[in-house]
Amino acid sequence: MKLSTFTSLSCAAVAVTAALSWPAWHSQHAMASEPPDDTHTTRLGPDQLRYPPGSPQLAYLSIHALKSVPTPLMEPLPARVALDEDHAVRVFSPIAGRTAQILVEPGQTVQAGQVLAWLLAPDYDTAIADLRKAQADHESKHAAFTRAQRLHEAGVIATRDLEAAQADARAAAAEMERASARVHALGTVGPDGRFALRAPIAGAVVERHLNPGQEIRPDANDPAFIIADLSHLDVVADVAETDIGKLHPGQTVRVQADGIDAEVQGRIATVGMAMDPSTRRIPVRAHLLNPPTSLRPEMFVRLSPIGDAAEPAIAVPNSAIVTLGQQSFVFVERSPGLLVKTHVEFARRGRDLSYVSSGLPDQARVVTKGAILLDAELASDN
């Protein structure tokens, strides 16, 4: 009984094993009978690889056309984008008052003279009252001077009285001019007696430091609004004293920012004459030429000064470079899928970018990501 049971179990186990093994063997046999995949890599020589279209290896590569640029003098300097102070204004209220209505928001474009906010300003009413009082006093003193002239011509009053009337008329005229200039400087008032805080220039509202109902004064620490023409931007960098001798006003600079593919050109406007005691560096400010709209104030960028006689070179990311001994190589895409390992020489090696002086033509398509994998595949085929 026990032997029969054991024999039955053994047969069942063999049957189950065979049933489970057959699909796996069948799958392997079917795969072996399928035609070979045409997406494999072809090695055309000691330094050439060809990948057919749709090859999965291509998904691990980044290939870009690299252009020739002037070689920088030094490593890129950390910098920040700043407003061009010649095209920016900080709007303060000329009189004290309370905010009644705000008409603009940050990011909005305004025109010169546009109303930014309406204020309830008793001081404006006082200025208007002073002007009317000065006008009335001027009219009275001018009439008195006219009468004194006639009386003096008739011999009724002395010359001293005529001169006194003339002095009073001149003082009244001066006071009226002062009061009128004060009202003119403050601007116009709305139909309901509210004071209009207007934009002095056209541009974009960069910042707003004003809330509804807020009291506002001419001597406030923060401006009510900051308006700037964002087509004019600066870049400010702090330069070490060892490098300051390489920079001068009018020098060309190249600016790069993360997330912005285009490089922006600029020129150094000012080089500081004194060292900042807190950073122990000297500030340098450069004006940007045609900055893109994606570049915003206070963004962090990299500034690369260019020499006056800088030679052009191909800027290559260091991730694209394969170093073997004392030689350096990059992989160049000669045609779709054909990658050639190419020897290059550098005019300058940098932390992130290196500048190729020979070995690459302008606009060459270079593998910027995955070069080490390609080099390993070439080595494995040797």
DSSP state of 190: -
Report the first-to-last Cα separation within the chain, whole angstroms.
66
CA distances from 261 to 207, 257, 268 (A): 27, 8, 22
pLDDT at 191: 58
- Return the SS3 of 159: helix
CB 367 within 8 Å of CB 62: yes
User: What is the residue whose two structure tokens read 């700043």?
Assistant: 82
What pLDDT, in 10s, does the model give residues 209-268?
A: 999 999 988 888 999 999 999 999 999 999 999 999 889 999 999 998 887 777 899 999
Q: Which residue has the higher pLDDT, 234 or 28?
A: 234
DSSP letters, 28-81, are HHHHHHSPPPTTS-EEEETTEEE--TT-GGGGG-EEEEE-EEEPBSSSPEEEEE
Q: Which domains does the chain have, with CATH numbers?
A: 43-70+311-381 (2.40.420.20), 77-87+230-305 (2.40.30.170), 122-186 (1.10.287.470)
Residue type, 14: V
Which range (17-21, 119-123, 271-275, 350-354) has the least confidence?
A: 17-21
In 10 A of CB 312, how many CB atoms? Answer: 14
**CA torsion angle 259 261 262 263 (round to 10):** 70
Write the pLDDT tens digit of every residue in 72-110.
888 889 999 999 999 999 999 888 889 999 999 999 999
Structure tokens at 179: 């009061």
Contacts from 262-270 at CB under 8 Å and sequence distance 24+?
A: 262/292, 263/69, 264/288, 264/289, 264/290, 264/291, 264/292, 264/295, 265/289, 265/290, 266/235, 266/303, 268/305, 269/234
Mean pLDDT over all residues of the chain? 84
The answer to whether residues 209 and 225 touch, using CB atoms and an 8 Å cutoff, is: yes
pLDDT of residue 4: 41
Q: How many CA atoms lie within 13 A of 63 on its CB side?
A: 19
Residue 202 region, left (φ>0) first, then alpha (ψ -120 to 50), else beta? beta
Q: Are 314 and 91 in contact (CB under 8 A)?
A: no
Element (H, E) at 333: strand 327-335
Q: What is the pLDDT of residues 260-285, one digit of tens each?
A: 777 899 999 999 999 989 989 999 99
Task: Look at the block and give the residue holding tokens 């030689």.
Answer: 327
